[in-house]
Chains A and B, each alone.
Chain A
Amino acid sequence: AQSVTQPDIHITVSEGASLELRCNYSYGATPYLFWYVQSPGQGLQLLLKYFSGDTLVQGIKGFEAEFKRSQSSFNLRKPSVHWSDAAEYFCAVAVYNQGGKLIFGQGTELSVKP
């Protein structure tokens, strides 16, 4: 069965420090992968997506993610975190032959220290 695992429930980083949020997926075919961000009380905003091609994808707000098929991973990175990046981050995989539904990971809550 398809699944997404985000091993880190909560991460705290200092403002200006680099960030890496981990995501591992289980999917039988070539995955369509996404990172979404959710600020408190808000909806889900798409940060970036991977469908095919270049395994390093750029997104909004200075985020990037790298698809590694051999590790079944799609980790999210940012070189320098801003206080406004504090939010919950969700990794997701789209199940193409099931209506395109998204399967989400548990989420990683990011706190940013001044």
Chain B
Amino acid sequence: EPEVTQTPSHQVTQMGQEVILRCVPISNHLYFYWYRQILGQKVEFLVSFYNNEISEKSEIFDDQFSVERPDGSNFTLKIRSTKLEDSAMYFCASSGRQGSEAFFGQGTRLTVV
């Protein structure tokens, strides 16, 4: 069964460092998303990506965040200068069409120290 894969599963980084979270969406999907879940809180939307550009972003997704689809299979989230409050589980998701069910990866737990 096709699935969304994310790497790494856990990343520890020092405050101020750049991190790149990687995702391989389901191959025939067209819509890609990043969400985050701070420990004990709900899942929050960060950004959606379609046709090689951002289609929607939340107020959380400020200038320190960026997304890229560098090739036909990967979808990355970059955080330029991490802060303590960026510590969270980051989920990548993909869907075949807008508004349809999204399939989630297992997540990357980012810990900023």
Contact = CB atoms under 8 A, between A and B. Distances in A.
Interface of A: 32, 34, 36, 42-46, 49, 51, 90, 92, 94-96, 98-107
B43 A43 contact: no
A54 B101 CA distance: 17
Interface in B60-113: 91, 93, 95, 97-107
Interface of B: 4, 31, 33, 35, 41-45, 48-50, 55-56, 58, 91, 93, 95, 97-107
A98 B57 CA distance: 9
Nearest to B6: A43
A49 B98 contact: no
A44 B41 CA distance: 14
B33 A101 contact: yes
A34 B103 CA distance: 12
By secondary structure, the A interface counts as: strand
Q: Which label, helix, strand, loop or mixed, suits the secondary structure of the B interface?
A: strand
Given A34-B101, A96-B99, A104-B42, 15 more contacts: A32-B100, A42-B106, A43-B105, A44-B104, A46-B102, A49-B101, A98-B48, A98-B55, A99-B49, A99-B50, A100-B31, A100-B33, A101-B58, A102-B33, A104-B43
Contacts of A43: 4, 91, 104-107
A29 to B, nearest CB: 10
7 closest residue pairs by CB, A with B? A99-B48, A99-B56, A99-B55, A100-B98, A96-B99, A44-B104, A43-B106
A13 B78 CA distance: 42
Contacts of B105: 43
Contact of B42 (A42, A90, A95, A99): A90
A101 B93 CA distance: 10
A44 B43 contact: yes
